[in-house]
Chain A
Amino acid sequence: MIGSIILTIALACSIFSVIMYYLSFKGYKNTLNYGRIGYHSMVLLVLTASFILEYLILTHNYGFKYVYDYSSNDLAKGILAATFWAGQEGSFMLWLLLSSIVGLVLQNYSSKRGDLEPRVMAVFSLATTFLLIMVSPLFKNPFASIWSEPIFLSLKDVNPSFMSLPFLQSFRFTDAQSGQIFIKMNSELFASLSSVGISLKEFIINGKGLNPQLLNFWMQIHPPILFTGFAMATVPFAFAMAALMKNDYKEWVKQSFPWVLAGAGILGLGIMMGGYWAYEMLGWGGYWAWDPVENSSLIPWLVGVASIHTLLVQRKSQAVGGIGKFAKTNLILCLLTYILVLYSTFLTRSGVLGDASVHSFVDPGMLIYLFLIIFIGTFLVMGFGMVMYRWKNLSEKIASDEAVLSRDLALFTSAIVLSASALIVLVGTSAPIFGKAVDTFFYSEMHIPLAIIIGLLNGLSLLLQWNMTKGKDLLKSSIIPLSISLVATLLIVILGGVNDIMMMLLAFSAVFTLAVNIDIAFRIIRANFSMIGAYVAHIGIALFILGVIGSAGYSKQVEVNLEKNVPVTALGYEMVFTGYSPIENTNKYQFNISLKKDDKSFKVAPIMYISDYNNGLMREPAILSMFTKDIYVSPLGYEESDGSGLTTVNKPKEVLTITASIKPFINFVWTGVLIMVIGFVISVIRRLKESLK
């Protein structure tokens, strides 16, 4: 109850803050401070509400529907705390919480940069207002009581000492099929309980628990990072709107640049952490399945990264005066980044994906659906309405020729290629709305040529100087990296057995980028360390692409039946299943397998168990990481029989079935992403300094 009240007051503060900031922009003198007070109060209230929710979870207060639905007594502390964002309501709450904090930094940042604050914060508080409406008692409120809608409690979750209460008998139900007994929890039962002085916390002693596939280390950090990325995507939108409101397109470029970079870095990290989680935990052997939920966070990332490239051109071209090149492109891309985050939320939470994704939330109701449409619609109309309104002012003629061989054009083309990639993913992911779906080869076939172009373009554009380069100069400077790449590609083709022409081209373009970037990074690292961010990020991307080529294109997989203590040779390893053993303090079993190759021996232990949560068999793979490859062992099943189905007097055969696969250079995928993120960090620091100039 108190949580809902706090959130409602926070909503009022947020609306107040929007109005006050807007009035300050309109020229009112005394309203700026009110706007700040409104925003800060909102943040304080949201923080308080979040603490209350976390407290309710940690103290197992199952009188709240959210706590009952997603946690239970047996969860470890860290995971228990992370059930804060295990469900729809809580993840909106997390998004809101992180947005408010990002806004706090933004308020401080913008207050130091001229008259920026009222415009930026008016738009930003509008975004928090919508999130607050989302978690209000009208929609996805995490503080809803358990009896707000009738719910059937399993008998084991109810305190047995109250079972003899006479009025309870009329709330008992027996499931005809399974014979299980349930207690119907509704407002009447709540009233009866309170009349005899029993609190819900005493009455309900355990919760439903967490989906076993969320019971993972990454559950504690992947969602917060991803939602920080989402929250930060609001900032470029706010900056673009601020520029449009003032009709001044010069300053916003350098002011928003560090935010765009930081947002893209964090979102990218969050997305790939999800990929690593999937790889390590979910056992389908991959880190990316083109699942709609994965895709929908990738789309805004791609657009955000595209905007980085054109913002760079605009900033450079401002040196000759005027607002610079690509003013319209940049505004549109920055607006789109946030709108696509909202669209992604709509896709995954409105129920439109239905059967298309395992991730999707099941039918949240028509109201939510409509509200999400209004949410996106507002920001879409507001953003693009303003762009159209200012269109004429944005068409400033810039007197400079563009040659085909210019870095400007290369950067612009890369933004186009990234946007094309975003469009492809968007089209494929949105298809389920129209009752269709695309096969995953749609994405991979489309992206191979794009990735080749990105690699070549990046290498070339760095060799090109700003504006113009003579063909001769380009040839001269590219001889060394080109020859290195040719040799390296040749080695990859011969040693790695790469025989597909597209893969050869992709490998070549990745190595080319790698060579050029490393070359430049080394040349400038002494002179100016702060400048190497972009090169480091591109080295990361090149390594990432090489990792993808190896792990996606050239992994080998076999299914093996391992009879206990009988060696089987597969993938060049001698594998022996040595029996299973229970893991302490859990209901899990590890299946021990020893691997031998030449004189080296290794041990892996994939895990299987029956989950109490859904009575399903859960499997967890085991991964043996080496420098050049991972050996990935995914359990399939275990059987004790003689194989013929007949019972025998002899000891039964114990057979473990696994899929074993070798994933070459998958480490490059992870290190590539990490290096890319480091590049982003270096760039953010540099651009942060520049934004004050």
Chain B
Amino acid sequence: MKTFEILNIKDTRSGFGAGMEELGKQNPDVVALCADLTGSLKLTAFAEKYPKRFFQTGIAEANMMGVAAGLTIGGKIRYTGTFAIFSTGRVYDQIRQSIAYSGKNVKICASHAGITLGEDGATHQIMEDIGLMRGLPNMMVINTCDYNQTKAATIAIAKHEGPVYLRFGRPKVPNFTPEDQEFIPGKAIHLNEGTDITIIATGHLVWKAIEAAQALEKKNISVDLINIHTIKPLDTEAILQSISKTNAVVTAEEHLMNGGLGDAVAQFLGRNHPCPGEMVAVNDVFGESGKPEDLLKKYGLDTSNIIEAASKALERKS
């Protein structure tokens, strides 16, 4: 199996901040709005360097989404920044009518997604957001895995005309994707060639999936590993190509099973290439306070859970 070097340990939200700083320099039409979370979203550098293109909205996310939609009418590419919970659940109808249905070029950038937000607890740990955003026609949904990928995605989505939900997180995690990567929305990244089972992972669980694949290889199980940063539109070609070889699949995500990556993959495979599949995801419960690593273990989102799911899928295949 290919080896993956950890370049450093960084948070994905800092990748977003770095991407925004770079984008501010590259594109004078990029404007950022933030709802009283400038520091948490790592938008301070953008706000300081481009004060005329940064707007503080206060703790008023519904208005922020509407203002974002309005700014696009003036030809601006709008990036909104707040926590994932306030980027989606709190403002679903505003996104639905003023952004998605109206086809507005707004980039909804959401930090602190999933259970690894940690100590703040379930009020802030949204794990339904991918499902909420996937359900909206016209909406692209991206969940990045590390600092470098988040930075690349932040810059790349400015070139995509239309609404995008970009999801990232709070904790410091292994940064392993190349610094100079080309981020192509909608195009899955094939991390490892294998023949026994396909593992499709997104967000923070991509690194866990790499660890799982390495452990499985030691048991002579060959893993075809896909880093799927874009959940909608789903790269069905890449999935089909992989499943045609392996005929078994595990999906891994820091999200509820309902509405997430696993759901999207199952929906596609059920209609096109049914095969045994297991999902590493949270099964219909809210999270709780705790350290991110402890929560990942307790809620079944750890490396060992991916290994276990792969074994189950393989058993069902035979």
Pairing of A with B: no
